[in-house]
Amino acid sequence: MKGIDEQIETIERALGERMIDHALVIVRAWLNELGENNRYESAFVRIQKRYNEVFSHWLVDEKDEFYETLDQLTGETYQLVDAVYTDIRLWRGLSPRMHGFNKENPQSVMRYFMSCVQFTKADFDWLREAANDTSRAAIALMAIGGLSKNIRDCFSLDAFMALVDCMSAENEIVAEQTMAYVFMLLVHYDIRIDFFPMLQDAVFHAIDAEGDSGNHAFEVLCALIRSSHHRWAEMLKAGEASLNQLPDEIRKLLELSGIKDDGESVSTWIPESEAEYIMGLVAIFPDTWLYKLLVEGNIERESTIAFLYLSIGKMDLLWENTDLAEKWLIQHLRTEHAEAIDFINYANCLWLRGDRFMAFENYRRARQMCKNAKDFFTLFRPCRKPLVDHGVPIEQVYMLEDQLLKN
């Protein structure tokens, strides 16, 4: 039998393609493992029966309602999967059974919200209350961070909704940090948004309630993208940085929560996968619902995001909007932070607009900044195909590389 992580990946892929039967095969195996008297049997049979009926109708008469019903069934299947997944984790001993937490102890609060898979309404009520109590802002942030990590491991619509509510917390730091967690989760679960309109509506209303046309949310999003170059958790764990190097707001909250400058407590508060999730947001962000909500159609914000992507080294924009990329690179090359890849990218822009002489000069500058030819060509080789795709003859690329080998 496949491992549970592999099974979840299979289900996510299947439901992403609306292949409900394929996902139900795994759910059936889980239910068999839980036993005949499991509480999900009737829901499983109902979904399977409805799916078979929908397919039978489609064979003879495809109507618009078919796709609406299929989406609805997919959402119901997601919810069944989440519920059964929770029980199967408990059944296999992969998650502990939690019995409450010490509301005054930050570590107890954090571990509970990070590990529990059977939350009660009282848990979420406490979280909402703590998030809006300025005197408990630090401990609320611990709970929110733990819950965010928990949702990644075991999706819960109720838990997600509790986080969305905390986006409107009275404490600005708690609200912003929660918003950042929600944004990363939205990108990870973007494939599910269509099936959970309640979640989509809740996020929209939370942003709209700010009354600033989403400007605050957009600023939080930009901060997230910038942070993709700051791997605080890894640096702290490796001893390469201290709490004093963290942003003041986060450092103060950590200190208030009793977190000390040691690898264990800090790495527990900052999930190991944080950097991975942020990079995931950066990698696929333009294709998400969140992008459409906060950025698409707003020329100023689209330009800001474009420059942000360039500033963190994501150069896809170079090939889509050379003029904008060149404008940013000209400014960046005047700073002390310019690296060899920046000169290569600027040279690419110059070559695409026909200035081969200046392009070569900037390639040569980049080559001189590298320790050896191998390091230079490691940076340059990924540019070869885009250059050719945008009209540069491959023979000219080879000739340029030949010349740069000698310099």
Amino acid 342: pLDDT: 87
- CA 311-315-319 angle, 5° bins: 135
Non-local CB neighbours of 70 within 8 Å, separated by 6+ positions: 18, 20, 54
Determine the 3-state secondary structure of 159 from DSSP: helix
Amino acid 205: pLDDT: 94
Non-local CB neighbours of 344 within 8 Å, separated by 6+ positions: 362, 363, 366, 379, 380, 383
Amino acid 302: pLDDT: 83
Amino acid 85: pLDDT: 92
Amino acid 269: pLDDT: 44
Amino acid 142: pLDDT: 87
Residue with tokens 């490691």: 378
Is pTM beyond 0.75? Reply is no
Amino acid 243: pLDDT: 57
Non-local CB neighbours of 375 within 8 Å, separated by 6+ positions: 340
**φ and ψ at residue 262, rounded to 5 degrees:** -130, 155
Domain boundaries, the chain: 4-91, 106-280, 315-406
Amino acid 98: pLDDT: 82
Non-local CB neighbours of 24 within 8 Å, separated by 6+ positions: 44, 47, 48, 51, 77
Amino acid 292: pLDDT: 86
Q: What is the pLDDT along the chain (407 residues), one digit of tens a residue?
A: 468 888 988 998 899 888 999 999 999 999 999 998 899 999 999 999 999 998 888 888 767 778 888 888 999 999 999 999 989 988 988 888 888 889 888 888 988 998 898 899 999 999 999 999 988 888 998 899 889 888 988 888 899 999 999 999 988 888 888 998 898 888 878 777 778 888 889 999 999 998 889 999 998 888 877 766 555 545 555 555 565 655 554 555 455 444 555 544 444 444 445 566 666 667 766 778 888 889 888 988 888 887 787 777 666 666 777 888 888 888 888 887 788 888 998 999 999 989 999 999 999 999 999 988 888 998 898 889 989 999 999 999 999 999 888 75
Cα(259)–Cα(95) distance, rounded to whole angstroms?
Answer: 25
80 contacts 39 by C-beta, under 8 angstroms:
no
